Amino acid sequence: MTSLPNFTDSLSQLIACSSISSTLPSWDQGNLEVIQLLATWFEQLGFTIDIQAVPDTSNKFNLLAKLGNGEGGLLLAGHSDTVPFDENRWQSNPHQVLNQDDKFFGLGTCDMKGFFAFILQVTKDLNAKQLKKPLYILATADEETTMAGARFFAKNQHIKPDVAIIGEPTNLVPVVMHKGHMSHRISVEGKSGHSSKPNLGINAIEIMYKVIGQLIKLKETFDTNYKNDAFDVPAPTLNLGAISGGDNANRICGHCHLDIDLRSLPGMSDAELINWLSDALKPLAEQYPGRITFEEMHPSSPSFEQKKQEQSISECFISVAEEISGHSCCAVNYATEAPYIQQLGCQTIVMGPGSIDQAHQPNEFLAHSEIDKTEKILLSMIQRYCLS
């Protein structure tokens, strides 16, 4: 049997497997190399391995590894892909770990291939015969774009662990709430013509100007009427992210597009957001029949909230996570795979090493100081939910 790598070597091997997810075909890659590497390691440790192709993706796969038998247990989950990178802003090769200044630099060290390197280390000495409940490890595909891997897993798996930890970088603070995310493209169809005769055309930019005015009013409504103080940005947000239109200064603009981003609070449904958006644009849609449309750019991600269970403190996962981590639970503004994992019927938290401030940034890193803390937390969770 080939000896298993130590933490530094396993992290280096994972980072060397490029697995970028992007909506741009020129950047988008498969993740099979990462999945096969993880499968090789965990199979050596006695885990049963299940690799599944994710439908409607290009060469993307999920991995589920299981050690032990029975019901319940612990699921440790994370995504196997990374975002693209700007090579000119990196001071080292993004796909080679640079161990320097008590930090591991590399694309995915923090977000979030490093989590799997930690899992490998803490499972090296586990004996399946000693486990009273199973330990599951899930590596998903395409989290950074469509979350297709987690969506597929939630719909097609029949496991039901007692609890799940998603190892996104939270500085090892348990996250029990986050906002949802959806994005839409608003399109205005005008009528082009010569700029010297504006009355013979319909300027799409001028209509979009009015659309933006309605969206600003909707933002103000969110700020005034909807708040959740668990978040540092307590209201739902609406961001005007990108705009394009027209082709020449001396032509009446015939087309204009605006891409917007909406982040909802827990308890808000996609249908509510779409209704608010429709109501905001309705007066203009009636004024300019057939000229204003909006469509979802990619599948939305729901908000997430893990409420405290009506159990004893020793059985409530939130209480256990706070006790083991030494941190109070919190809410974050970004989206994760947590709502999909929660659909398995398990208590779910997001908690992992590293800071979200490093994610999606040039010179992404994972600090050496995270190693002992992360391994102790994972070992404590395995002890409580699989060995006790």
Task: Dump strand ranges (E) for the chain.
Answer: 48-53, 61-67, 74-79, 98-100, 103-105, 135-140, 163-166, 175-178, 182-189, 193-194, 237-245, 251-252, 255-263, 292-296, 304-305, 330-332, 347-350, 365-367
* Range(s) of the chain covered by CATH 3.30.70.360: 186-296
**Looking at the domain covering 7-178+303-387, what would its CATH class be?**
alpha beta
Could you read off the pLDDT of 242-299 as tens digits, one per residue? 999 999 999 999 999 999 999 999 999 999 999 999 999 999 999 999 999 999 998 8
8 A C-beta contact, residue 386 and residue 135: yes
Scan for tokens 């933490």, then name that residue: 7
CATH number of the structural domain 186-296: 3.30.70.360
Assign 3 a pLDDT band (cuts: 50, 70, 90).
Answer: confident
Catalytic residue among 81, 142, 144, 337: 81
Could you read off the pLDDT of 330-373 as tens digits, one per residue? 999 889 999 999 999 999 999 999 999 999 999 999 999 999 99
Identify whether 364 is a catalytic site residue: no
Across the range 231-240, mean pLDDT stands at 95
Cβ neighbours of residue 153 under 8 Å, at least 6 residues apart?
52, 62, 64, 138, 140, 340, 341
pTM: 0.90
More reliable by pLDDT, 192 or 127: 192
Catalytic residue among 111, 143, 144, 337: 143
Residue 313 has pLDDT above 80, yes or no: no
Distance of CA 68 to the CA centre of its chain: 28
Assign 210 a pLDDT band (cuts: 50, 70, 90).
Answer: very high
Assign 162 a pLDDT band (cuts: 50, 70, 90).
Answer: very high
Return the SS3 of 159.
coil
Identify whether 81 is a catalytic site residue: yes
* Range(s) of the chain covered by CATH 3.40.630.10: 7-178+303-387
Q: Which amino acid is present at 204? A: A
